[in-house]
């Protein structure tokens, strides 16, 4: 039995796997849990991050507005299913005004370290790069320096230092709808200066695992287990009708997380349902957060659906590691 190294979360949102379902990840029967009208001016609510907070949950949501601007909004929930999302975007403070100046913000991840919840997101600064901020209460948000030069997306922090260093995964990219992309890890002493960059894994060319042949990027903060860091990521193929985004999983070495122990050849979840296949950007399932319960091994994955609404899916640490090992590339 694989074990999650982390906190208990007895109130994790949960539904058992439907009878007869053999997939490694199964959807919540009430999906989508957040529709496109999540706040006053939203056109769509997707690619968002949630964490346990006080006696419930909190999150940072990507709400594209009805003028189609991209920004981040705080939200709160008692049960992880029903969300109240603020009507006004998060106002970040503290950083150099040069950095605070907002071009666009999207696709947040949240990682708790100590009493702080660190938020990383795709931050427009003369092109996409990785914004970093922290909050303790989801009311005041302190922004730090951007982690990298443009162009980069999908900055995801590890939930603790490894080898004495903070670790962040990311996906160097371009200024457009990037037709390439591999996952790297960068290291830092202070969450400001990042270096010691290490290659983690690349796309899979050819026919072997074609769903991840164009680009890949880290999803939720990696989950620490006694068998390695469990990473849920997105993989993209270019089709005659554009990109299709699916989910995969990998297990990374605990001490040297740029070493991949195994990695799924088959995807773990893909756009099948109407709300995943039809929307502002069709055929996208994009994971940004995972809640875990160390007592039961349960994992609840929050993912954006067709760049329009937000879905929830479930697995367990045992199931996902077993699948990843047995279907490893
Ligand atoms: C990426 C990002 C994601 C989005 C995806 C599919 O480049 O914009 O937020 O989900 O494209 O449109």
Nearest CA among 102, 252, 119, 258 for reference residue 191: 119
If you measure from the C-alpha of residue 10 to the centroid of ligand 1, how many angstroms do you get, rounded to a whole number? 32
- Would you state the structure tokens that stand for residue 169, as one six-digit string? 């995964």
pLDDT at 10 (0 to 100): 98
Ligand 1 pocket mutation, candidates 284, 288, 308, criterion most atoms within 8 A of CB: 284
Task: Report the pLDDT averaged over residues 148-166.
Answer: 98
Beta bridge partners of 165: 162
Distance between CA atoms of 23 and 320, rounded to whole angstroms? 10
Which residue, judged by its Cα, is nearest atom 12 of ligand 1?
281
| 178 CA closest ligand 1 atom index | 7
Q: Is the pTM of this model over 0.95?
A: yes
- pLDDT bucket at 1, cuts 50 / 70 / 90: confident
If you measure from the C-alpha of residue 307 to the centroid of ligand 1, how many angstroms do you get, rounded to a whole number? 7
- Would you state the structure tokens that stand for residue 193, as one six-digit string? 């200066």
Task: Report the pLDDT averaged over residues 185-203.
Answer: 98
If you measure from the C-alpha of residue 86 to the centroid of ligand 1, how many angstroms do you get, rounded to a whole number? 22
Residues with CB under 6 A from ligand 1: 47, 106-107, 177, 245, 281, 284, 286, 304, 307
Contacts of 267 (CB under 8 A, 6+ apart): 211, 212, 235, 246, 247, 248
Q: What is the pLDDT of residues 90-146, one digit of tens each?
A: 999 998 999 999 999 999 999 999 999 999 999 999 999 999 999 999 999 999 999
Which residue, judged by its Cα, is nearest atom 7 of ligand 1?
177
**Centroid of chain to Cα 93:** 23
| 62 CA closest ligand 1 atom index | 9
| 245 CA closest ligand 1 atom index | 6
Which residue, judged by its Cα, is nearest atom 11 of ligand 1?
177
């Amino acid at each position: 039995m694989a074990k999650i190294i982390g906190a208990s979360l007895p109130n994790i949102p949960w539904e058992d796997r439907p009878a007869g379902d053999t997939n490694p990840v199964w959807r919540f029967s009430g999906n989508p849990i957040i529709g496109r009208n999540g706040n006053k001016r939203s056109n769509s609510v997707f690619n968002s991050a949630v964490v346990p907070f006080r006696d419930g949950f909190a999150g940072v949501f990507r709400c594209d507005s009805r003028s189609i601007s991209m920004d981040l909004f705080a939200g709160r929930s008692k049960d992880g299913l029903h969300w109240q999302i603020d009507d006004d975007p998060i106002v970040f403070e503290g950083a150099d005004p040069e950095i605070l100046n907002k071009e666009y913000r999207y696709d947040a991840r949240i990682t708790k370290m100590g009493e702080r919840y660190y938020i990383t997101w795709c931050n427009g600064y003369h092109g996409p790069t990785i914004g970093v901020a922290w909050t303790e209460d989801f009311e005041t948000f302190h922004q730090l320096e951007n982690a990298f030069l443009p162009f980069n997306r999908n900055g995801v922090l590890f939930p603790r230092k490894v080898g004495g260093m903070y670790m962040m995964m990311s996906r160097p990219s371009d200024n457009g709808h990037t037709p390439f992309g591999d996952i790297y890890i960068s290291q830092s002493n202070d969450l400001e200066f990042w270096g010691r960059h290490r290659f983690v894994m690349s796309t899979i060319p050819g026919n072997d695992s074609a769903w991840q042949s164009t680009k890949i990027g880290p999803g939720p903060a990696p989950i620490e287990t006694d068998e390695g860091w469990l990473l849920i990521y997105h993989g993209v193929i270019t089709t005659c009708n554009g990109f299709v985004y699916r989910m995969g999983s990998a297990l990374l070495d605990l001490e040297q997380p740029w070493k991949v122990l195994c990695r799924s050849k088959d995807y773990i979840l893909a756009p099948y349902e109407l709300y995943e296949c039809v929307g502002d950007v069709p055929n996208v399932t994009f994971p940004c957060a995972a809640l875990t319960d160390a007592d039961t091994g349960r994992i609840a994955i929050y993912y954006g659906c067709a760049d329009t609404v937000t879905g929830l899916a479930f697995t367990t640490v045992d199931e996902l590691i077993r699948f990843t090992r047995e279907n490893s590339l």
